[in-house]
Amino acid sequence: MSTKSRKLRIGIYAANEFPYPVPAGNIHGVITVAGALADGLTDRGHTVTYFCPTESRTRAHKQDLGYHSFINLPISHTIPRGHIRYQCKSFYAQQMARDIVRYLRRHPVDILHLHNSRDALPFMHFLPGLPKVVTIHDSLFIPHYRFFMQLYQHLPETYFLSISQRQQQGMETLPWFANVYNGTDPNLFTFNPTPDEHVLFSGRFVPEKGIDLALLAASQARRPIHVVGFFDQRVELSKEFKQAITVLLHQPHVRYTNRADYTHLPQYYGKAKAVLFPIQWEEAFGLVMIEAMACGTPVIAFKRGSVPEIIKDGKTGYIVRTFSEMVRAIKKINAIDRRACRAHVVKNFSLSKMVNRYESVYDQVLTDFKRRR
């Protein structure tokens, strides 16, 4: 019996750093995707237990286990950013993972879906007889993420999923079970056929996102740019990097919006002529791309990570290899049909598409799990 006819009991855990939805002025793509999936599966009639902080709002059965989000703990405001803060929030997530194990021993589910591999996998030995689906959201081209997965790649009863084919190439020895692209609800992003003349950058101000290149490319293309983002306080950034970006943000062609509410992003996307995505690393997915295209806004991105799998070059944006190519792409952006951008997301990266795919994967996992037992 397939999952489309059989309703499942599904447990989902992402992280407890932020509640779902992620509050204004913060970015956490993993929580955004996991929360949307929990809601989508609930709407399909599955019994979904979403393990998340008490401040969360979800249509699934919320099980907070007494945990507030890490950012709302009084002590979290006293912990310095960088490695120490990373370790503290990771330990807090591990505590919740430990209590999830205890909860599931008393309240069994058919399948457990983890979106937090680094903090949850060490506890999965204590749930024998339960199939675990693990969506990897990290770039496995980064050595320390790859090392961690090497420790758990042979964990029994565990099925690893990627969010792009390129991500799998970062660790081809991991026993990948399937690939499921992230999705978003197109209804949250209004199509705008008549944008303004500026381009947009949205995201955290860290070197791997290429914020400096976006600002310089807009300047050379003689286009105004709207920047929506912030210096990530969770990351130790060099003084030189912060100073350089601050200077660029004060240039006359730049409009800067700090820490935007996620609910305002659709209007920012829709008003832009294009979104710049000059990533400097092997991004595993990149929600910005599909959110922008859902508004009809094409994306100009470097050929790194998942980009060739998400953008249709010359149809929904431009895939470029050099800074000069990005500048030239900005100048010819009017050749892109904004309706094609929207249609591309609806067809390939909608929330419905993602839920369909996960339902199919759950069905395959349960069939394989039964066969192996």
User: Is the pLDDT assigned to residue 85 strictly greater than 70?
Assistant: yes
Q: What is the spatial distance between Cα 120 and Cα 352, in angstroms, rounded to a whole number?
A: 27
Q: Residue 259: what pLDDT?
A: 67
Residue 325 inside a domain? The answer is yes
189-224 tens-digit pLDDT: 999 999 999 999 999 899 999 999 999 999 999 999
Q: What is the spatial distance between Cα 15 and Cα 144, in angstroms, rounded to a whole number?
A: 19
100-124 tens-digit pLDDT: 999 999 999 999 999 999 999 999 9
Arithmetic mean of pLDDT, 300-325: 98
> Do 195 and 127 share a domain, yes or no?
no
19-77 tens-digit pLDDT: 999 987 777 899 999 999 999 999 999 999 999 999 999 999 999 999 999 999 999 88
Q: Residue 324: what pLDDT?
A: 98
Give the rounded distance of the alpha carbon of 298 from its chain centre: 19
Q: Which of 185, 141, 147 is nearest to 162 (CA)?
A: 141
CATH code, 91: 3.40.50.2000
Look up the domain containing 265 and give its range: 186-348
Arithmetic mean of pLDDT, 243-271: 88
pLDDT band with cut points at 50, 70 and 90 for residue 188: very high
> Do 201 and 331 share a domain, yes or no?
yes
Q: Residue 332: what pLDDT?
A: 98
> Do 128 and 273 share a domain, yes or no?
no
> Do 81 and 226 share a domain, yes or no?
no
> Do 15 and 115 share a domain, yes or no?
yes
> Do 98 and 109 share a domain, yes or no?
yes
Residue 1 inside a domain? The answer is no
- Our count of domains for the chain comes to 2
> Do 199 and 139 share a domain, yes or no?
no
Residue 3 inside a domain? The answer is no
Q: Residue 234: what pLDDT?
A: 67
Starting at the edge strand found earlier in the chain, the sheet holding 111-114 runs 61-63, 47-51, 9-13, 111-114, 132-135, 158-162, 176-179
Residue 357 inside a domain? The answer is yes
Q: Residue 216: what pLDDT?
A: 97
> Do 201 and 143 share a domain, yes or no?
no
Residue 4 inside a domain? The answer is no
User: Is the pLDDT assigned to residue 262 strictly greater than 90?
Assistant: no
pLDDT band with cut points at 50, 70 and 90 for residue 79: confident
> Do 289 and 170 share a domain, yes or no?
no
Which residue matches tokens 């009809």?
Answer: 296
Q: Which of 103, 184, 189 is nearest to 353 (CA)?
A: 184
pLDDT band with cut points at 50, 70 and 90 for residue 5: low
> Do 174 and 40 share a domain, yes or no?
yes
> Do 266 and 341 share a domain, yes or no?
yes
Phi and psi at residue 175, to the nearest 5°: -75, 75
Say which DSSP state 197 is in: S
Residue 31 inside a domain? The answer is yes
Q: How many residues are present in the chain?
A: 373
Q: What is the spatial distance between Cα 300 and Cα 327, in angstroms, rounded to a whole number?
A: 10
User: Is the pLDDT assigned to residue 12 strictly greater than 90?
Assistant: yes
Q: Which of 246, 267, 268 is nearest to 202 (CA)?
A: 268
> Do 94 and 205 share a domain, yes or no?
no
